[in-house]
Structure 1
Amino acid sequence: MNIPDPQTFTDPEKLRKLMANAVRLGYEDLAFNCKLRIAEIAGAAQDDVIEREFWTALIAAEEFKAAAAGKTSRLAKIRTKHRRVGAQRLLADMMMEEAVSDGFETLVAHGRAELTCEAIVLRHEDQFSVDAVNAARKKLMDHGVAMTDIAA
Structure 2
Amino acid sequence: MTASIDRIVSLVVQWPGVETAPHRFGGTEFLVAGKEIGHVHDVGIVDLAITKAVRDSLLTDGLADPHHVLPDSAWVTYRVRSDADEPDAIRLLRLAYLWRVLALRRRGIDIDPTLVPDEELQHLAFPAELDSLVRTTFNESLNHRASV
Asked which structure has the greater CA Rg, the reply is 1
Bigger relative contact order, structure 1 or 2 (CA pairs below 8 A, ≥6 apart): 2
Higher normalized helix content (fraction of residues): 1
Asked whether the two chains share a fold, i.e. TM above 0.5, the reply is no
Of Structure 1 and Structure 2, the greater strand share is in 2
Q: TM-score range by the shorter chain?
A: 0.3 to 0.5
- TM-score by length of structure 2 reads 0.34
TM-score, normalising length: structure 1? 0.33
